[in-house]
Structure 1
Amino acid sequence: MPLSLAAKRKHLHQRRYDFQGFEREDNLWDIEGRITDVKSYPFDNQFRGTIEAGEALHDMWIRLTVDINFIVQDIEASIDDSPYAICPSITPNFKKIIGLKVGPGWRAAIRRAVGGTEGCTHLVEMLGAMATVTFQTLYPAMIKHQAKLKEKTMDEGQPKKRPGIIDTCHAYSADGEIVRHEWPDFYTGTS
């Protein structure tokens, strides 16, 4: 259902995110993100001169390459448009993300690695949002991988491992119906 009818207003700014996930032939996955910011009016910029209505103030890209364990194997950042000439010079710093794990603590780890003057606010923000895209992209492969691990665990008589997705949102609450149905060994509800 769309939002309710808005008050009379004037459009000033548009930010767009575009995220895509790809399975590679080398058993890795690429998660690509792009952010664009445009204004509905022209304005002056000291570095670029006049930025026309509809022209990108920000146009930035990230390609994050991860393995089945959500460990970052590579990253590429690019800045096509920015308000300052110096902005694109920070993109090599994002290689500091290599080796981090996309999962709990991801946003804090990004801020430690490339936050503040070590990075770009917009690229850092986009990287944070890429975590759920990464999960959505790898989900089918992750289920297969977990099934193989489960078989191995059962063969070796080891205790089952609690799925990391439990308690990550309302739908996956440990005491909820989805966990009761999908992972009954880890269900904490009363029914």
Structure 2
Amino acid sequence: MPLSPADSRELLHLRDIALRGYLRKDGMLDIEARLTDTKTYGFANRDRGRIGAGEPLHGMSLRVTVDQGLTVRGAEAAMDATPHAICPGVAPNFARLEGLTIGRGFLKGAMERVGGTQGCTHLRELLQQVATVAIQTMFSVRAHKAAREGGETEDRWDIPTALLNSCHAYDENGPLVAAARERAAARTAAEA
């Protein structure tokens, strides 16, 4: 169901975020995120002079490489458009994410390494989404492998414990979790 009709309005600010999950030939995953902010009008900027309508105020990218255990093996940031000339100076700090594992405590660990003045608010905002896309990409890797091997992917998918009670769909007392438990029990019985 779409949103309700909006009142008469004028578009002023656009934020576009794109995320992509890639399987590399070496078995690792590259998760790439791009954030672009634009305005529908031009305005003065102290460091850049003038930023025209549709010209990026923020144009920032982040690539996080993880192994199949979701441990960060590399991270790289690029800041192609920023409102202040000083901003790109923190891009190299995002390499500090190396060694963190995506899962419980990931964001806290990331904030310890690139929080506050050691990082960039906009790039840090992407980290939650990068983590989610890494997990979803890992599910895709497993499903893609099963499909290539002629196996079924839907019936074998179990709900990871970390997702239990994370949202309405994964309520531990709800129908999706109950169905997953039934499939797991049936698989266990068939394998015995």
Scaled by the length of structure 1, the TM-score of the pair is 0.83
Q: Is the 8 A contact 1:180 1:186 kept in 2?
A: no
RMSD: 2.1
Q: Percent identity?
A: 43
2-structure distance, mates of 1:46, 1:144: 49
Amino acid at match of 1:81: A
2-structure distance, mates of 1:65, 1:40: 34
2-structure distance, mates of 1:165, 1:64: 22
Which of 175, 178, 190 is equivalent to 2:176?
178
Gaps of 5+ in 2: 146-159, 186-192
Moved over 4 A (4+): 142-145, 184-187
2-structure distance, mates of 1:124, 1:186: 37
Q: Is the 8 A contact 1:32 1:64 kept in 2?
A: yes
1-structure distance, mates of 2:181, 2:120: 40
Aligned to 1:163: 161
Aligned to 1:35: 35
| Equivalent runs, 1:1-80 vs 2, <5 Å | 1-80=1-80
Deviation of 1:91 (Å): 0.7
Q: Is the 8 A contact 2:28 2:66 kept in 1?
A: yes
| Matched length | 171
Q: Is the 8 A contact 1:68 1:142 kept in 2?
A: no
Q: Is the 8 A contact 1:68 1:141 kept in 2?
A: no
Alpha-carbon spacing, 1:115–1:186, altered in 2? closer, same or farther (3 Å): farther
Q: Is the 8 A contact 1:17 1:34 kept in 2?
A: yes
Q: Is the 8 A contact 1:75 1:94 kept in 2?
A: yes
Amino acid at match of 1:166: L
